[in-house]
Amino acid sequence: MGLFDFFKKKETLNTEEKETLDKGLEKTKEGLFSKLSRAVVGKSKVDEEVLDELEEILISSDVGVDTTLKIIRRIEERVARDKFVTTAELDGLLREEIAELLAQNKSDDVSNAFKANVKPYVIMVVGVNGVGKTTTIGKLASQFHKAGNKVILGAGDTFRAAAVDQLKLWGQRVGVTVIDHGMNSDPASVAYDTVKQAVEQDADVVIIDTAGRLHNKVNLMNELSKIKRVMQKFLPDAPHEILLVLDGSTGQNAFIQAQEFTKTTDVTALAITKLDGTAKGGVVIGISDQFKIPVKYIGVGEKIEDLQVFNKKEFVDSLFKRK
Ligand SMILES: Nc1nc2c(ncn2[C@@H]2O[C@H](COP(=O)(O)OP(=O)(O)O)[C@@H](O)[C@H]2O)c(=O)[nH]1
Ligand SMILES: [Mg+2]
């Protein structure tokens, strides 16, 4: 199964994937539902007061102010139109309005974000330290490899000793080649070599790891552009994807990182990790609404299958599914 078919298949989640998602979002759901239940205690009707509470709930669930205001406006319109909306209908109403709001951001489709028939398909992974870049690369490599693609990884985080070894370990585990020049080597030359090897070995996918921190932000941005430029000497249209990894458990911080990186780097896709074990999963809604760049992957656990192709509708359905 080529990459394109891989993504086509992932456009709908199977039962197992839905369960993984439900489980991964447990903490966020718990937080959301307990607040929602408290807001409607002793009330039968969605009124001004409930809407005010709802606004606070969404903001405190890391949805972000702008997206929250959009959601509240939609619900106000709905309440005005339907006249009497009971508080029992509130979950369903929220689910529908959020799903429709996200659906309006058309760029946010996996199939739109994927370029078919590109070989090798080169993904450069960026993001600050500790957000889950290397882990995400390992999980992706495994899934692509299992689907029958030849994958090559490039150990471009040469800033930290452990980083190269961590990627090599993933390579061994998954059974794919890792190109590395060791710690402190030039990441641009690692990237060049990886792409060159991929072409020579007729690989389908290249994933390049990068450092999340240099001595300062300007250095980091310069280095990322250099990696890109040097790769392009060998393969002019590479990288085909610049994947920014964000740690969802940092809530609004993830949002700020997305703003900063997209200002200085041509990010084409987002991955939001560590949604398991946090109540801040609402940040995915805000990011998915506010950025023209699609959220392509979400991380909902430590296991390989816990990295999922993001599906807006399934995400919102899962979030509002009570046990
Ligand atoms: N629970 C959980 N942990 C994750 C997820 N993604 C990454 N991690 C953990 O986050 C930590 C940092 O990940 P790493 O890939 O080294 O980050 P990097 O510095 O960006 O390369 C590791 O302990 C990972 O196991 C996820 O989706 N869920
Ligand atoms: Mg790393």
Residues 181 and 251 in one domain: yes
Closest C-alpha to ligand 1, atom 6: 132
Ligand 1 nearest-atom number relative to CA 307: 27
Tens-place pLDDT, residues 38-95: 988 899 999 999 999 999 999 999 999 999 999 999 999 999 998 888 999 999 999 9
Q: Which of 9-13, 127-131, 197-201, 222-226 has the lowest mean pLDDT?
A: 9-13
Which ligand sits nearest to residue 247's alpha carbon?
A: 1
Strand ranges of the sheet holding 269-273, from the earlier edge strand across to the other edge: 177-179, 151-154, 205-208, 121-126, 241-247, 269-273, 295-299, 307-309
Separation between Cα atoms, residue 117 and residue 59, nearest integer Å: 42
CA of 298 to the centre of ligand 1 (A): 12
With pLDDT > 90 as the criterion, what percentage of the chain qualifies?
A: 80
Separation between Cα atoms, residue 27 and residue 248, nearest integer Å: 12
Q: What is the DSSP string of 215-245?
A: SSHHHHHHHHHHHHHHHHHHSTT--SEEEEE
- Cβ of 274 below 6 Å from ligand 1: yes
pLDDT at 215: 67
- Cβ of 139 below 6 Å from ligand 1: no
CA of 285 to the centre of ligand 2 (A): 26
In a domain, 320, yes or no: no
- Choose the final residue of a domain: 104, 125, 149: 104
Domain boundaries, position 55: 3-104
pLDDT at 1: 77
Burial (Cβ within 10 Å: 0-12, 13-18, ≥19) of residue 62: buried
Give residue 62's Cα distance to chain centre.
Answer: 15
Angle between helices 161-174 and 133-146 (to 10 degrees): 20
Asked whether the predicted pLDDT for residue 202 surpasses 90, the reply is yes
Residues 250 and 278 in one domain: yes
CA torsion sign, 8 to 23 to 105 to 47? positive
Residues contacting 76, CB < 8 A, separation 6+? 51
Residues 98 and 146 in one domain: no
Closest C-alpha to ligand 1, atom 22: 132
Residues 256 and 138 in one domain: yes
In a domain, 161, yes or no: yes
- Choose the final residue of a domain: 104, 138, 154: 104
In a domain, 126, yes or no: yes
3-state secondary structure of 75: helix
CA of 220 to the centre of ligand 2 (A): 14
In a domain, 322, yes or no: no
Closest C-alpha to ligand 1, atom 13: 132
Residues 159 and 187 in one domain: yes
Residues 308 and 278 in one domain: yes
pLDDT at 109: 55
Question: What is the CATH classification number for the domain harbouring 94?
Answer: 1.20.120.140
Which ligand sits nearest to residue 271's alpha carbon?
A: 1
Asked whether the predicted pLDDT for residue 107 surpasses 70, the reply is no
Ligand 1 nearest-atom number relative to CA 128: 20
In a domain, 154, yes or no: yes
Tens-place pLDDT, residues 68-78: 999 999 999 99
Average pLDDT over residues 213-228: 85
Binned at pLDDT 50, 70 and 90, residue 115 comes out as: low
pLDDT at 113: 47
228 or 214, greater pLDDT: 228
In a domain, 318, yes or no: no
Ligand 1 nearest-atom number relative to CA 130: 19
Residues 158 and 254 in one domain: yes
Residues 75 and 132 in one domain: no
Binned at pLDDT 50, 70 and 90, residue 252 comes out as: very high
Average pLDDT over residues 174-179: 98
Residues 32 and 132 in one domain: no
Asked whether the predicted pLDDT for residue 112 surpasses 80, the reply is no
Query: Which residues make up the environment of ion ligand 2, defined by Cβ < 5 Å?
Result: 133-134, 157, 163
Give the count of beta carbons closer than 10 Å to the beta carbon of residue 54.
23
Closest C-alpha to ligand 1, atom 8: 132
Looking up tokens 């991964």, which residue turns up?
24
Q: What are the DSSP E strand ranges found in the chain?
A: 121-126, 151-154, 177-179, 205-208, 241-247, 269-273, 295-299, 307-309
Tell me what the pLDDT averaged over the chain comes to. Answer: 92
pTM of the shown model: 0.95
Average pLDDT over residues 179-196: 96
pLDDT at 144: 95
Give the count of beta carbons closer than 10 Å to the beta carbon of residue 285.
26
Residues 164 and 296 in one domain: yes
Using an 8 Å Cβ cutoff, are 192 and 234 in contact?
A: yes
Average pLDDT over residues 162-180: 97
In a domain, 244, yes or no: yes
Residues 181 and 263 in one domain: yes
In a domain, 25, yes or no: yes
Q: Which of 107-116, 151-160, 195-204, 273-282 has the lowest mean pLDDT?
A: 107-116
Structure tokens at 62: 């890391």
Which ligand sits nearest to residue 163's alpha carbon?
A: 2
Q: Which of 215-229, 239-253, 306-320 has the lowest mean pLDDT?
A: 215-229
Separation between Cα atoms, residue 81 and residue 106, nearest integer Å: 26
Asked whether the predicted pLDDT for residue 111 surpasses 60, the reply is no
pLDDT at 309: 94
pLDDT at 118: 85
- Cβ of 108 below 6 Å from ligand 1: no
Q: Can you say which residues are annotated as belonging to the binding site?
A: 127-134, 209-213, 273-276
Ligand 1 nearest-atom number relative to CA 131: 20
Asked whether the predicted pLDDT for residue 136 surpasses 60, the reply is yes
pLDDT at 193: 98
Separation between Cα atoms, residue 255 and residue 69, nearest integer Å: 16
Residues 234 and 183 in one domain: yes
Which ligand sits nearest to residue 137's alpha carbon?
A: 1
Ligand 1 nearest-atom number relative to CA 138: 15
pLDDT at 276: 96
- Choose the final residue of a domain: 104, 136, 161: 104
Using an 8 Å Cβ cutoff, are 231 and 239 in contact?
A: yes
Question: What is the CATH classification number for the domain harbouring 283?
Answer: 3.40.50.300
With pLDDT > 70 as the criterion, what percentage of the chain qualifies?
A: 96
Separation between Cα atoms, residue 44 and residue 50, nearest integer Å: 10
The separation between the first and the last C-alpha atoms of the chain, rounded to the nearest angstrom, is 35
Helix and strand totals (H; E) in the chain: 14, 8
List 151's β-bridge partners, or say none.
205
CA of 136 to the centre of ligand 2 (A): 9
Average pLDDT over residues 96-118: 74
CA of 209 to the centre of ligand 2 (A): 7
3-state secondary structure of 175: coil
Q: How many domains does the chain have?
A: 2
**Closest listed residue to residue 125, CA positions, set 5, 245, 23:** 245
